[in-house]
């Protein structure tokens, strides 16, 4: 994996690539060191994807521009804006699935399906929230999580949209699923339903 050396280097990359994968890293973080191994494997397996590391201790300030509060975090930039953010340690396979379609297509190649934009709204002490997140991870679905007990604005927005404060709620490309409704989640996410489940 290549590393961004400074702000000017980052600006040059943005001019060159419409989409960029940024891996925010800090050697002070044990999870970031673990994630680095997975991200490096992902970049070896997906050489066409423009992926670059940013050491937050060496290149200051960029993490704040993209709302990165913790390392490790992977941010996908599209036309200079953060389109996707994946926080924490993930597997190389997870990154390959979550970031599918970012490599330039070759003639005769079928374009890969665009990943769904998934946001999970959760709360403290919510067992169904944990089940939902485990289910999504088990199917390699990338998602962002918002804890509405800590984000009052998100809580108000949820009530406006669904009429409910219940969690979990999942936003899939703008469509809300209230609760851990596996059938509806499977339909919206394109997960094949398993026979024999009630």
| pLDDT one digit per residue (tens) for the chain, 198 residues | 899 999 999 999 988 888 889 999 999 999 999 999 999 999 988 888 899 999 999 999 889 888 898 999 999 988 888 888 888 898 888 888 887 666 544 444 444 455 678 999 999 899 999 999 999 988 888 899 999 999 999 899 888 888 888 999 999 988 899 999 999 999 888 888 654 444
pLDDT at 47: 85
pTM, two decimals, is 0.54
pLDDT at 102: 64
- Report helix, strand or coil for 42: helix
DSSP 8-class letter at 6? S
pLDDT at 119: 92
pLDDT at 39: 94
Integer angstrom CA distances of residue 135 from 2, 119, 123, 139, 144: 33, 14, 17, 6, 14
Domains of the chain: 2-98 (3.40.30.10), 118-189 (3.40.30.10)
pLDDT at 115: 66
pLDDT at 101: 62
């Amino acid at each position: 994996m290549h590393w961004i050396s400074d702000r000017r280097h980052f600006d040059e990359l943005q001019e060159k690539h419409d989409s960029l994968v940024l891996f925010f890293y800090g050697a002070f973080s044990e999870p970031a060191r673990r994630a680095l191994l997975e991200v490096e494997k992902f970049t070896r397996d997906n050489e066409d994807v423009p992926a670059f590391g940013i050491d937050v201790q060496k290149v200051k300030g960029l993490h704040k521009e993209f709302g990165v509060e913790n390392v490790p975090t992977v941010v996908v930039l599209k036309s200079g804006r953060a389109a996707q953010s994946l926080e924490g340690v993930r597997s190389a396979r997870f990154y390959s699935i979550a970031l599918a379609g970012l490599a330039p297509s070759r003639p005769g190649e079928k374009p890969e399906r665009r990943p769904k934009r998934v946001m999970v709204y959760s709360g403290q002490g919510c067992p169904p929230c944990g089940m939902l997140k485990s289910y999504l991870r088990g199917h390699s679905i990338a998602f962002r999580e918002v804890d509405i007990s800590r984000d009052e604005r998100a809580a108000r927005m949820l009530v406006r949209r669904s009429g409910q404060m219940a969690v979990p709620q999942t936003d899939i490309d703008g469509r809300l699923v209230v609760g851990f409704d596996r059938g509806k989640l499977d339909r919206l996410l394109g997960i094949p339903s398993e026979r024999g489940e009630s």
